[in-house]
């Protein structure tokens, strides 16, 4: 496209660049190249065009550009909550900002006045509990208005936010929250999933027992079960207060997101007020085309980065459509009916959901009124060509299919489509603005037209400030920078075509990715290997090229005198579901004589996965490096 479509945010941005900066771009690719070659020019333009509410102006845009260690907008102060709650210029008190739907209680609709008042009251309540800047506030809560309010209230006073969904078992939550030592814990006593009430009071009790840093527990009234000895939400927000947003430095921590690696505890990734503000203004505006008055529906739990991204729709004056419960209850069409009822302009989902709708023969645009819809956004795993064709047939040219891939690590997109890009069937349209991406071979050379490691060659404002508890930065460096010095290795296999379109073909490391939610292998082992019947285990995830959830395989070494029979398989599944989450339940549990390990003790998840996908065992690992040279052979047999 020679020019961006009229009426889009990116069209206004390009016109602003021409009038204010004297810059002209013939096409999207030219704009993208400029965005990564002139980082100061691009990000200063983003900040000015979207009117970032700085209290103190920055002395520079990028004071240090090496990775890790880049320094963005030094001297600037701001507060994420100020823009989120107050909205952009022209926002009105009576604007709808939250629409909440769940299977636990009746729908709710909030105006900006309601949100501002609740955030001010919640902030005052947190201050009465002794919360100060830098303290951590954690939530074991679903995607409901109170969770949004608590997040924005904590941020308004400079406290650091973290959240987990209540379907997570206590062990999984403790592994996360114990790292950051929260002083306040918000929790629900339960919820309704479809038509099934779920009581979580035992899990909340386990969290309290394992988190000695928690001085106060606040119960959010929701679902079955009551949290004993807790401050009621109504008490927290019971005292009227004036809205306040304390200016904090650009790199002041806003939230901690957890993305599991392959060893040890989940990574506690710290994101900052400034980085998330400017990145989400850019991403949501220039790619998602979010505008004041829009309405965003994206089914997500509070444990996924998409929840944080959804909340940032408020930065653009859009309303959030919050959905909690079983996304497939009472049927696949439920979310489409909600989209029609709420007049959604943006519908975010997974490839698996779209493919399921196609398989079931749904016709959403015919069966309900989706006349407000402008974008269907897809992330989490690759969408096969049939999914592209189904969306085009069902929704027509008036609805843009935007497929993207990003990560918790940057809390945004890395490669994705947008209004000024062509939709390429079976592929992602191209590189995200401001993200200097490429595919590298093992030697660090860029490759085009063949698979390589997805890398980012220049800093982004929303890259992690640090990992919580990683005082010397060694964990962060090992996570992203130990393969290509000074270059971010994201951990995905990717192929860039000569024209710039992208195919992401799965994780290149051992992190498991089910529907866009990363699960760490260490979480599985901590549960399974405590069982007396099992001495060792190894888990791999095989992605589905058709866009489904793929297959999660758990291999276990039974203890002497035990067998991998139906009873043991059932117990393994029950333990993983209760201790971690339903996403952790394997599709198959298979016996293994010995887990392949290096002589230093490292499990070989990636080689095992590659063998299961067809690779020659001799090409994926040196047998001489293994404790048991024959330990990879069972995976050849399992593949057969």
pLDDT at 511: 67
CATH for the stretch 78-506:
3.40.50.12780
Q: Where are the domains of the chain?
A: 78-506, 508-639
What tokens were used for 303?
Answer: 């444990």
pLDDT at 262: 44
Q: Cα dist. 166→148, 174, 359 in Å? A: 15, 12, 30
The continuous run of DSSP H or E covering 440 comes out as strand 437-440
pLDDT at 496: 97
Please state, as a whole number, how many other Cβ atoms lie within 10 Å of the Cβ of residue 386: 16
Handedness of CA 365, 369, 371, 372 (dihedral sign): negative
Cα(18)–Cα(486) distance, rounded to whole angstroms? 33
Buried b (16+ CB within 10 A) or exposed e, 4-30: beeebbbbbbbeebeeeeebebeebee
Q: Same fold for the domain at 78-506 and the one at 508-639?
A: no
Handedness of CA 195, 200, 202, 206 (dihedral sign): positive
Whole-structure pTM value: 0.88
- pLDDT tens digits for 2-52? 899 999 999 999 999 999 999 999 999 999 999 999 999 999 999 999 999
Cα(294)–Cα(314) distance, rounded to whole angstroms? 10
Cα(207)–Cα(3) distance, rounded to whole angstroms? 54
The yes/no answer on whether domain 508-639 falls in CATH 3.40.1400.10 is no
Residues of the chain with pLDDT under 70: 260-264, 509-511, 515-516, 518, 599-601, 622-625
Report helix, strand or coil for 191. Answer: strand
């Amino acid at each position: 496209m020679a020019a961006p479509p009229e009426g889009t945010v990116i069209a206004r941005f390009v016109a602003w660049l021409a009038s204010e900066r004297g810059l002209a771009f013939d096409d999207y690719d030219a704009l993208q190249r400029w965005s990564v070659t002139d980082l100061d020019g691009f990000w200063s333009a983003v900040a000015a065009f979207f009117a970032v509410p700085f209290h103190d102006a920055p002395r520079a845009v990028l004071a240090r550009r090496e990775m890790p260690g880049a320094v963005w907008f030094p001297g600037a102060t701001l507060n994420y909550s100020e823009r989120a709650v107050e909205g952009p210029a022209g926002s009105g008190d009576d604007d709808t900002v939250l629409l909440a739907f769940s299977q636990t209680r009746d729908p709710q609709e909030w105006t900006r006045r309601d949100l501002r008042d609740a955030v001010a009251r919640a902030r005052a309540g947190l201050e009465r509990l002794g919360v100060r800047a830098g303290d951590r506030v954690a939530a074991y809560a679903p995607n409901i208005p109170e969770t949004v309010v608590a997040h924005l209230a904590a941020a308004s006073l400079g406290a650091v936010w973290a959240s987990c969904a209540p379907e997570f078992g206590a062990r999984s939550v403790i592994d996360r929250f114990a790292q950051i030592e929260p002083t306040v814990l918000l929790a629900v006593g339960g919820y309704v999933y479809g038509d099934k009430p779920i009581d979580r009071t035992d899990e909340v009790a386990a969290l309290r027992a394992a988190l000695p840093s928690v001085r106060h527990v606040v119960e959010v009234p929701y679902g079955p079960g009551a949290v004993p000895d807790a401050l009621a939400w109504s008490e927290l927000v019971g005292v009227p207060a004036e809205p306040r947003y304390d200016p904090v430095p650009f790199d002041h921590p806003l939230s901690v997101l957890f993305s599991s690696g392959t060893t040890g505890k989940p990574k506690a990734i710290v994101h900052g007020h400034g980085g998330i503000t400017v990145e989400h203004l850019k991403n949501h505006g220039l790619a998602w085309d979010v505008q004041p008055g829009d309405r965003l529906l994206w089914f997500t739990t509070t444990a996924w980065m998409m929840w944080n991204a959804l909340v940032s729709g408020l930065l653009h004056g859009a309303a959030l459509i919050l959905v909690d419960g079983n996304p497939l209850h009472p049927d696949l069409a439920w979310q489409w009916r909600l989209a029609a009822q709420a007049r959604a302009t943006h519908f975010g989902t997974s490839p698996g959901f779209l493919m399921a709708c196609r398989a079931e023969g749904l016709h959403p645009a015919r069966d309900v009124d989706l006349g407000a819809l402008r974008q269907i956004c897809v992330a989490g795993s690759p969408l096969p060509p049939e999914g592209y064709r189904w969306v085009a047939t069902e929704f027509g040219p008036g609805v843009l299919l935007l497929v993207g891939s990003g990560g918790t690590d940057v809390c945004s997109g890395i490669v994705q489509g947008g209004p000024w890009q062509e939709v390429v069937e079976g592929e992602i349209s191209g590189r995200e603005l401001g993200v200097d991406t490429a595919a590298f071979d093992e030697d660090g050379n860029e490759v085009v037209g063949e698979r390589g490691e997805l890398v980012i060659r220049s800093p982004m404002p929303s890259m992690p400030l640090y990992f919580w508890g990683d005082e010397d930065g060694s964990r962060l460096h090992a996570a992203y920078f130990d393969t290509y010095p000074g270059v971010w290795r994201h951990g995905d296999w990717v192929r860039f075509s000569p024209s710039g379109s992208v195919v992401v073909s799965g994780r290149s490391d051992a992190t498991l990715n089910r529907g866009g939610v990363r699960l760490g292998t260490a979480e599985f082992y901590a549960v399974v290997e405590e069982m007396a019947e099992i001495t060792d285990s190894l888990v791999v995830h095989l992605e589905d090229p058709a866009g489904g959830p793929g297959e999660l395989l758990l291999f276990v070494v039974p203890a002497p005198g035990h067998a991998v029979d139906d009873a043991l398989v059932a117990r393994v599944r029950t333990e993983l579901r209760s201790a971690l989450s339903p996403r952790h339940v394997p599709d198959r549990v298979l016996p293994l004589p010995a887990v392949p390990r290096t002589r230093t003790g490292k499990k070989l998840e990636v080689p095992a996965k590659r063998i299961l996908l067809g690779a020659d065992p001799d090409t994926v690992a040196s047998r001489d490096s293994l404790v048991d040279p024959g330990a990879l052979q069972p995976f050849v047999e399992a593949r057969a």
